A = this chain, B = another copy of it.
Amino acid sequence: MKVQNQNDKNVTMFESVELGQVISKQEFKGQEPEIRAQLLALQRELRDANIATLIIVAGVEAAGKGDVVNRLNKWFDSRGVQTHAFWDETDEEKERPDTWRFWRRMPARGSIGIMFGGWYWDPLRERANGRIDDVDLDEVSRAIGEHERMLSLDGMLIIKLWFHLSKDAHVRRMKKRHELQKHIKGLPTEGAGVETYDEYLIAAERCIRLTDSGECPWHLVESDDKWFRDLSVARVLTSMMHQRMEEHRVSDRRMQVHEPTIPVDNHPLTILDHVDLTASLPREEYKKLLKRYKARLHELAWQAYAAKKSTMIVFEGWDAAGKGGTIRRMTSAIDARLFRSISVAAPTDEERAHHYLWRFWRRVPRAGYMTIYDRSWYGRVLVERVEGFAEHYEWMRAYREINTFEEQLVNHGIVLIKFWLHISPEEQLRRFKEREELSWKQYKITEEDWRNREKWNEYKQAVKTMVEHTSTGLAPWTLIPANDKLFARIEVLKTVCEQLSDVIETN
């Protein structure tokens, strides 16, 4: 982003803020009480409006980011503020997709999170040090943009601050810091010191340009003078927070849908009608195959563990399609130390205080382990859509959000397998009746199941749209004919074994 100055010399975006702006301590102190009162009032308004605020503090090393954060902790009511740095990655974090460690620290609705560097830290340092190239940086920047937009559409206020220092000032401060800290052992460097100042700024400019959006704009802050710097921060914060509250008063930001509208046709014929529900398996054959595949799966699970390959297996399907029974046959083959099975129920209040994907990020398995989901994040576009628990604009967005989520999982090397267990309405009715009769199955059948059944066609349309939009090359759906339980179980086991062998053999 080059702009022309009056002398017709090219300036970078950063030079455009090297204006030598200075204010006196006295002037700053004079304004501070008013600033504090304003920020506190805004913090309270955002809290009451249940809006999460994320402040990303990025920029040149030694620009005083730590001091700014201290100031913010003084200005705000610190009871609603959490600060996070991401420089010292744990193995639990390394074993999951990159974004996991940020999801872990995401501010809840009504609270403020301050992140040092946030998701910008790593890519900028890596680019400055030449470990990734511009194509990689662009790719990461695109992903960051998408991520921020998702959070923003979920209601979050994201304020991104870039603290700039001219090269001279940077060199001077780094020298001074070095002098002060040279006797401290074990001090890590940000990896963006004096030697790579130019490269760092070139990378930053590129990344800022690509992630500077209407929803989540960047704010460049000249940081040579600390009083001017902190006053600038105060102005950005009050204006962004104020604006967010104004917006909140007139409309719900979450209602903005930028996705192409998904035409909801009600054509009765869907992909599900092509599932051959007559498929079946004689019991003798089933017993033989079950034994064979269980032995194979037992082995594969250990091999995946040894190869540090994680697996996530999603089960969706009609009520009474046999998800639970199939999962049990599968898990009984796997060493209990290697898997976790999760039944997705109503979210807790901590979960409700975040983007709906947060609770699934929470449970992403460590390297080498399996997680098996009895229902999943697809609830958003199935039950939440049909029952109206999610608004139209929420579930419409979800297809893309889910695809991005799954892309991150798969790109990290996680094996993701998604099953839809399909049965006919007649078979469901038969099973419901059976459940009502057998004492140990009665808990499985509720009024709700009967109500859901009445919405068969609506669910069918939801499944159609779901499969159309989320059966991607990276993470395809496997539709399982499940009128015959034995056939379904073997199909599932076979699919899992095949996918795992593929991955382990090519490893």
Residues of A within 8 A of B (CB): 33-34, 36-37, 40, 44, 65-67, 69-70, 73-74, 77-79, 82-83, 85, 87-88, 90-92, 116, 181, 183-187, 299, 302-303, 305-306, 324, 327-328, 331-332, 335-337, 340-341, 343, 345, 348-350, 366, 374, 438-440, 442-444
Supposing A116-B337, A302-B184, A350-B348 touch, asked if A79 and B374 sit within 8 A by C-beta, the answer is: yes
Q: Which residues of B contact A187 (CB under 8 A)?
A: 302
Supposing A40-B440, A328-B70, A337-B87 touch, asked if A186 and B302 sit within 8 A by C-beta, the answer is: yes
* Of B88, B90, B345, B440, the contact of A36 (CB 8 Å cutoff): B440
Dominant secondary structure at the A interface: helix
Which single residue of chain B is at the shortest CB-CB distance from A307? B186
Q: Which residues of B contact A299 (CB under 8 A)?
A: 183-184
Q: Are A37 and B302 in contact (CB under 8 A)?
A: no
Name 22 A/B residue pairs within 8 A (Cβ), A-sorted: A33-B438, A33-B439, A33-B440, A37-B442, A65-B336, A66-B336, A70-B336, A73-B341, A77-B443, A78-B324, A78-B327, A79-B343, A83-B340, A85-B337, A90-B90, A90-B91, A90-B92, A116-B337, A186-B302, A187-B302, A348-B348, A350-B350
Q: Are A91 and B91 in contact (CB under 8 A)?
A: yes
Q: Are B184 and A66 in contact (CB under 8 A)?
A: no
Q: What is the oligomeric copy number?
A: 2
Bound Cα distance from A1 to B348, whole angstroms: 46
Q: Which residues of B contact A85 (CB under 8 A)?
A: 336-337
Q: Are B40 and A303 in contact (CB under 8 A)?
A: no
Q: Which residues of B contact A366 (CB under 8 A)?
A: 90
Q: Nearest Cβ distance between residue A453 and chain B, in whole angstroms?
A: 20
Bound Cα distance from A331 to B442, whole angstroms: 58
Residue from A44, A67, A439 having most chain B Cβ neighbours under 10 A: A439
Q: Nearest Cβ distance between residue A501 and chain B, in whole angstroms?
A: 14
Top-7 shortest CB links A-B: A186-B306, A36-B440, A79-B343, A85-B337, A37-B439, A70-B332, A349-B349
